[in-house]
Structure 1
Amino acid sequence: MRRGWRGRGYWPGAGPFSHLPPWQRPGWLYGPGACWYLYDSNRTVLPPINQLKPEDENLILNDQKQAIVEQQKINQEMLKKIEARLKELKK
Structure 2
Amino acid sequence: MGWRGRGSAGPWPGRGPYSNLPPWERPGWLYGRGACWYMYEPYRAVPPTNPEDEATILVEQKIMIEEQLKSMQETLKRIQERLNQLKK
Instruction: Give the CA RMSD over aligned residues.
Output: 2.8
1:29 and 1:88 mapped to 2: Cα distance?
61
> What are the ranges of 5 or more consecutive residues in structure 1 without an aligned counterpart?
34-43
**For each residue in 1:25-58, what CA deviation from the matched residue of structure 2 results, as whole angstroms up to 9, or x when unmatched?**
163337846xxxxxxxxxx853232232212211
CA distance change for structure 1 residues 84 and 46 in 2, over 3 Å: closer, same or farther? same
In the superposition, the TM-score normalised over structure 2's length comes to 0.58
1:70 and 1:79 mapped to 2: Cα distance?
14
1:66 matched to 2:63: yes
Q: Specify the code of the residue in structure 2 equivalent to 1:51.
A: P
CA distance change for structure 1 residues 26 and 69 in 2, over 3 Å: closer, same or farther? farther
In the superposition, the TM-score normalised over structure 1's length comes to 0.56
2:30 and 2:82 mapped to 1: Cα distance?
52
Q: Specify the code of the residue in structure 2 equivalent to 1:60.
A: I
1:56 and 1:83 mapped to 2: Cα distance?
41
CA positional deviation for 1:89: 2.2
> What are the ranges of 5 or more consecutive residues in structure 2 without an aligned counterpart?
1-7, 14-18
Higher relative contact order (CA 8 A, sep 6+): 2
**For each residue in 1:65-90, what CA deviation from the matched residue of structure 2 results, as whole angstroms up to 9, or x when unmatched?**
11101110111101111121122223
How many equivalent pairs are there?
Answer: 69
